[in-house]
Amino acid sequence: MTARLIKNGTVVTAADTYAADVLIKEGIIAKIGLDLTDEADEIIDASGKYVFPGGIDPHTHLEMPFGGTVTADDFATGTRAAAFGGTTTIVDFCLTTKGKPLSESIKTWHNKANGKAVIDYGFHLMIGEINDEVLAELPAIVKEEGITSLKVFMAYKNVFQADDGTLFRTLLAAKELGAMVMVHAENGDVIDFLIQKALAEGNTDPIYHALTRPSIIEGEATGRAAKLAELAGARLYVVHVTCAEAVQQIAEARNKGVDIWGETCPQYLVLDQSYLEKPDFEGAKYVWSPPLREAFHQEVLWNALKSGQLQTLGSDHCSFNFDGQKDLGLGDFSKIPNGGPVIEDRFSLFYSEGVNKGRITLHQFVDIVSTRNAKLFGLFPRKGTIAVGSDADIVIFDPLAGRTLSAKTHHMNVDYNPFEGMQVTGEPISVLSRGEFVIQDRQFVGAMGAGRYLKRAPYAAAHAAASVSKEEIKR
């Protein structure tokens, strides 16, 4: 039995900041207190450092086929980079194919992750259609497989997009099972029309990616999903919120008592639409969906995080190399693979831009980057906090260490960094996953395959209210 004692640090959770030592036994936090003298195999000095719960990234795409290619990071490189950045748990999106059993897709995703991940991981499951077969599979997926979040795309026409009927029936099914529905909220039909129009007019540069996906239709889709969730009485989580219109819809629904939650991502907090205008096709590096917005939206997003209208931060890590992948869209912006590398920088960037710049408090930082995600995704209190009995997923963080974000020094398997040259202050020095070092004094010491699959819990409220019958969902 390995025991480790973290001494002299400042423990920070979503609720408290206090000086304490932390004793870890068999991967679990065994004791927290002042001046602990318990025997340990290893003493870790955390003087002058914060002792944070490990980051939980609720939104990643590793080894994912998309846009005619496959993301550059797999579960080995992606989770290693995540650990360098202070993240100890990810929840990745398992894609499904219409007409194929969901269980087959889940098996495929297990095969991608098993033996490769260096930190713990769970899966969300994409729902592209609802039929008798899907409805028959879902109870075991939620209750036995522990996949308690289902993802519906309202965009990517002819690829992932599902219609409103599918979204509504997914909400009904999820409510019955205690699962949460996640939506990519953009109006895919309108976007498709705008893309065809732009291309027909000879507008092929990366900036047209943003111009054909205006914020008003992210707001429209967010409001539509919120109303369907209200009607179904189901829990809804809106991924990658980018704009004032979407925040307004979420805030209005929350004010009415709808069980709706919103996530944003670092790229929308610090980058803006002008990056898509970079010359020599470099704008392609900044192609995300939804797109980067005009700069004034950033303040709206920060304020929404501060006020609790948005609650979480995901990386939406979906990395493609500039050379050989992003350039598939040379001459046609609609063929640029959507997404970017963010898994490693999510934690430090958010700390530096958020806490250091006074936009959020230290406790809000921990809540948004870790604790709230554990709660919403059925992992709390095993993950997401520093408490006796919780997994010893811990980040020893130097709030004064500064560095420059760069592709030259990052650990993601990709040839550019969208935050190239940005200075951050505050850096994970050592990172433990279930009590074992993954990063020690900035060096990777983890093991491929050490990460475990996490079966997640359904949310408690789901079983309370009377729900629409299975027969009604099937219709």
Among 228, 225, 155, which residue's Cα sits nearest to residue 186?
A: 155
Q: Please say which residue, 318 or 462, places its beta carbon nearer to ligand URP.
A: 318
Tell the smallest beta-carbon distance from residue 469 to ligand URP (Å).
33
As a whole number of Å, the CA-based R_g of the chain is 21
Q: Please say which residue, 340 or 458, places its beta carbon nearer to ligand URP.
A: 340
Rule CB under 6 A: which residues touch ligand URP? Answer: 61, 184, 240, 288-289, 316, 318, 338-339
| 186: partner contacted, choices ligand URP, Zn ion, none (Cβ within 5-8 A by kind) | none
Among 285, 298, 177, 190, which residue's Cα sits nearest to residue 242?
A: 298
The single-letter code of the amino acid at 228 is: L
Q: Please say which residue, 87 or 338, places its beta carbon nearer to ligand URP.
A: 338
Tell the smallest beta-carbon distance from residue 218 to Zn ion (Å).
11
| 338: partner contacted, choices ligand URP, Zn ion, none (Cβ within 5-8 A by kind) | ligand URP
| 317: partner contacted, choices ligand URP, Zn ion, none (Cβ within 5-8 A by kind) | none
Nearest residue to Zn ion by CB is 184
3-state helix, strand, coil in the chain (%, to 5): 35, 25, 40
- Assess contact for 264 and 313: CB atoms under 8 A: yes
Q: Please say which residue, 275 or 288, places its beta carbon nearer to ligand URP.
A: 288
Q: Which residues of 307-323 are buried (b: 16+ CB within 10 A; e: fewer)?
A: eebbbbbbbbbbbbbee
Residues between 298 and 357 with contacts to Zn ion, criterion CB under 5 A: 316
Q: Please say which residue, 55 or 291, places its beta carbon nearer to ligand URP.
A: 291
Tell the smallest beta-carbon distance from residue 438 to ligand URP (Å).
25
Q: Please say which residue, 215 or 433, places its beta carbon nearer to ligand URP.
A: 215
Residues between 177 and 206 with contacts to Zn ion, criterion CB under 5 A: 184
SS3 209: helix
Tell the smallest beta-carbon distance from residue 153 to Zn ion (Å).
7
| 288: partner contacted, choices Zn ion, ligand URP, none (Cβ within 5-8 A by kind) | ligand URP
What's the rounded Cα separation, in Å, for the pair 110 and 456?
Answer: 15
Which residue's structure tokens are 């475990």?
A: 452
Tell the smallest beta-carbon distance from residue 109 to Zn ion (Å).
15
- Assess contact for 316 and 389: CB atoms under 8 A: no
Q: Please say which residue, 49 or 326, places its beta carbon nearer to ligand URP.
A: 326
Tell the smallest beta-carbon distance from residue 318 to ligand URP (Å).
4
Tell the smallest beta-carbon distance from residue 61 to ligand URP (Å).
5
Q: Which residues of 437-462 are buried (b: 16+ CB within 10 A; e: fewer)?
A: bbbbeeebebeeebbbebebbbbeeb
Residues between 129 and 188 with contacts to Zn ion, criterion CB under 5 A: 184
Q: Please say which residue, 40 or 313, places its beta carbon nearer to ligand URP.
A: 313
What's the rounded Cα separation, in Å, for the pair 77 and 412?
Answer: 6
Tell the smallest beta-carbon distance from residue 117 to Zn ion (Å).
18
Binding region for Zn ion (CB under 5 A): 184, 316
